[in-house]
Amino acid sequence: MEETLIKKRKIAVIGIQDQGSASKINDYLMKKEGMIDVDVDHQRGFVRVEYDLRRINFETIESSIKELGFDLSKKITEKFKRGMAKFTEQNELDNLAAAPTSCCSDPKKIGCKSDH
């Protein structure tokens, strides 16, 4: 069975007016493969998501929110958080996909010292 890589994020979203808007976001995101949980706080303007990074990534979640007609916070701190989330997720996925490497040409040699 394939391992999961669970992520939890809190996204500041502009335009969540009422519980109807919150339900629209919740329902749409929960239909996405890899989503585990969505909690929309329309009073504070946040969407909390929990998802499996091996099946969906933060960038896709952002795009999905925008597809519904909502915008993401323009505050510099929120932009930074979103950028870091995308950057770290891409690194994690790249590391998982990379083949293991050795520190030297013959990993069986302890310490990889040359034969002199």
Q: How many domains does the chain have?
A: 1
How would you list the strands of the sheet with 6-14, edge to edge?
35-41, 46-52, 6-14, 71-72
Q: What is the pLDDT of residues 46-92, one digit of tens each?
A: 999 999 999 999 999 999 999 999 999 999 999 999 999 999 999 99
| 55 in a structural domain | yes
Asked if residue 100 is part of any domain, the answer here is no
3-state helix, strand, coil split of the chain in percent (to 5) is 40, 20, 40
Structural domain contains residue 1? yes
- CATH number for the domain spanning 71: value is 3.30.70.100
The reply to whether 62 falls in a domain is yes
Task: Give residue 98's pLDDT band: very low, low, confident or very high (50, 70, 90).
Answer: confident
Q: Are 64 and 32 in contact (CB under 8 A)?
A: yes
| More confident of the two residues 84 and 102 | 84
Provide the domain limits for residue 65.
1-32+43-75
**What pLDDT shows up at residue 104?**
66
The verdict on residue 110 lying in a domain is: no
> Could you tell me if residue 89 is inside a domain?
no
pLDDT band at 31 (very low <50, low <70, confident <90, very high): very high
What predicted TM-score, i.e. pTM, was given to this entire model? 0.80
Q: Is residue 20 part of a domain?
A: yes
* Distance in angstroms (rounded) separating the CA atoms of residues 12 and 99: 36
In a domain, 8, yes or no: yes
